[in-house]
Amino acid sequence: MDIQKEITALRREIEKHNRLYHVEDAPIISDYEYDMLMQKLKAMEAEHPELITPDSPTQKIGGPPLSKFEPVRHQVPLESLTDVFSYDELFAFGERMDASLPEGHSYVVEPKIDGLSMSLEYENGIFVRGATRGDGVTGENVTENLRTVRSLPLHIENAPERLIVRGEVYMSKAVFEELNAQRELRGEPLLANPRNAAAGSMRQLDPKVAASRKLDIICFNMQYSSDDKYSSHAQTLDAMREMGFPVVPYKCYNNIKNCVERIEWLGENRGDLPYDMDGAVIKLDSLSQRSALGSTAKAPRWAVAFKYPPEKKESRVLDVVVQVGRTGVLTPKAIVEPVRLAGTTVSAATLHNQDNIDRLGLRIGDTVLLQKAGEIIPEVLSVNFSKRPEGAKPYLMPSVCPECGSPVVRDEDGAALRCTSPECPAQRLRNIAHFASREAMDIEGLGISVCESLINSGMVKDASDLYYLEAPAVAALERMGDKSAANLINAIENSKSAGLARLLCAFGIRQVGQKAAKVLAGNFSDLDVLMAAGEEELTAIPDIGGITAGFIINWFSNPQSMDLIEKLRKAGVSFESKEEKRDSRFAGMSFVLTGTLSRFTRDEAGAIIESFGGKTSSSVSKKTSCVLAGENAGSKLTKAESLGIKIINEAEFEEMIK
């Protein structure tokens, strides 16, 4: 068989299974069989890279990072909707439609998915461009990130010559909960809702990051088709589904009052849907009637969005428990009588910290009002004091860690209470899981359950013990085996060469995440040089302030930290930096640019200064290190001269940056 035909046939087979899984919810092969098809395609494309096309399913893994998002002017504006908040307002909309369209009309009702609106462009069936809504007229080109969305078809059969579809990129509730669980393990702030998580993921400059977030898309409008043969919105939705798009579920009704049935059903069942939704959309079905009514400056006249109020319910506080996070922070949680809220059963709600408990005046036994923050995280809004039982006492956070009994201290810079023991069991599990996570040492196969088994078996007490594990002992653990153990030992061995930036991130030093770890690794050649650095040397580095420098110095001065480092050293873990050495010649310096520059634009000169670790300011002060003066420099030059600040011209600046 011709290799190109074989690759094309394999791509179409994979696309068929994508459609069956994501659109029709009726897969006919296992995940393993699907993965094997993908592996076969990747291998064939690796042997014949000249045959790789943009619509190949392999392109959903993400390409090289982008420098920025280019602006895209929408061929058809992506309009917003007018919101209504009551049935009276909805019926008033219906009356306007009756008055404008006495010949009769029908409606389509759809869920209003809470995600990120996108325009998707296809030419001859091939996905060529995708853009965010932006201001409705101009959006951002996020094509490469959209290619990573597995439910988005990159190639469609029997397509018109040109097609533009509007859809909503979203993060499913299951993926969102998994992402938040990982963030909690790493001691990072939890994301408030799936919508923000999806928007942040789609605006990542590195498509591989977007690919890792497991985003989905659902389509709800045909913006344009060169094959103009449809008379109703329902027809376009059915046609889009036939083409292979995941399409929003809809119902048709012949009058506005009948729409209430579907609106209420969606409101009552939204908790069972895989995506977050904050309302129902009611649209005219006829495309010609839509065209006749047109739009206002902001929204179409032929549609409205019925917005559901946030659901709130009362429940009784049975207890308050305290959880200990990876960084040792104690977080109180109210255990409440189970109550159905926004589609799920809630039995616990966050209380944040002691300050919030005091603000609420909460006591065990109180009846409280609950709401899901961002429709996801349950929280206590208020206390119904009229239902307070006799003898209820104010709740106080413990003075010792509930996991290990060590003293707790309050952060100087906030309301958080923190366990003081690095040997705390709660921190141990989360620290080791964080050490192995993708952002840190990236040890594949070492998830939270395996970490827990290793700790419970006594084989691992801190992260360094991972490098002394033996395959037979690991294979004896529950749900492991010879092959899994061998793979894990191999992954641990490979992580030894991860480099300084990943190692620093893995240590879990406060305020030293991925970004700060890379900055440090770009300024220090290895771990020993970094450990010898003092506060002045650390704070001279851009993005490393005094508080972060203090956390770094304190962490390295801890005896347990030094024990960990020495065990890692003996195990052969690399302490060397893989980051390109950063030229910080302007570190600690502040520049002011004034006058007309002929060899650079101000933005270009400012970018150069910042690339060398310096900062730019719009005003001259005693803290200004240098003023770069062009022609017709005015009051800033005069002030610099009066303060005795160094003044340079463009030629001198060029000498400084050679």
**Residues designated catalytic:** 112
DSSP type of residue 449: H
Please tell me the distance from the alpha carbon of residue 372 to that of residue 363, in angstroms, as a whole number.
20
Amino acid 235 reads Q
Side chain identity at residue 142, one-letter code: V
Single-letter amino acid code for the residue at 608: I
Can you tell me the distance from the alpha carbon of 575 to that of 553, in angstroms, rounded to the nearest whole number?
17
By residue count, the chain amounts to: 658
Neighbours of 373 (CB within 10 A): 15
Cα–Cα nearest to 500, from 516, 487, 511, 488: 516
Cβ proximity of 145 and 204 under 8 Å: yes
Tell how strand 367-373 and strand 377-384 pair up.
antiparallel
Q: Using CA atoms, how far apart are residues 200 and 634, in angstroms rounded to an integer?
A: 42
Of 88, 329, 69, 285, the closest CA to residue 188 belongs to 329
Residue linked to tokens 């239902």: 387
Instruction: Please give the distance of CA 525 from its chain centroid, rounded to a whole number.
Output: 31
Which residue, 363, 368, 325, is CA-closest to 349? 368
Separation between Cα atoms, residue 524 and residue 535, nearest integer Å:
14
Q: Which residues contact 438 (CB under 8 A, 6 or more apart)?
A: 212
Going by DSSP bridges, is the β-strand pair 126-132/216-225 parallel, antiparallel, or unpaired?
unpaired
Element holding 223 (H helix, E strand): strand 216-225
Backbone CA torsion sign across 92, 94, 98, 99? positive
Report CA 468 to chain centroid distance, whole Å.
Answer: 35
Q: Do residues 418 and 408 touch, judged by C-beta distance below 8 A? A: yes
Q: Which of 149, 163, 159 is nearest to 116 (CA)?
A: 149
Cα radius of gyration rounded to whole Å, the chain:
29
Burial of 644 (0-12, 13-18, 19+ CB in 10 A): exposed
Query: Distance (Å, rounded) from C-alpha 494 to C-alpha 162?
Result: 48
Mapping DSSP to helix (H, G, I), strand (E, B) and coil, where does residue 635 land? helix
Neighbours of 567 (CB within 10 A): 16
The letter for the amino acid at 111 is P
Whether 215 contacts 170, CB under 8 Å: yes
Vertex 146: Cα angle to 202 and 436 (nearest 5) = 60
**Cβ-proximal residues to 174 (8 Å cutoff; 6+ apart), any chain:** 274
CA 621 to chain centre: 39
Question: What residue spans of 28-141 are helical by DSSP H?
Answer: 31-47, 87-100
Cα 327 → chain centroid: 21
- What dihedral do alpha carbons 628, 632, 636, 640 form, nearest 10°? 60
**Strand 626-629, strand 590-594: pairing:** parallel
Phi-psi label, residue 499: left if phi above 0, alpha if psi -120 to 50, beta otherwise: left
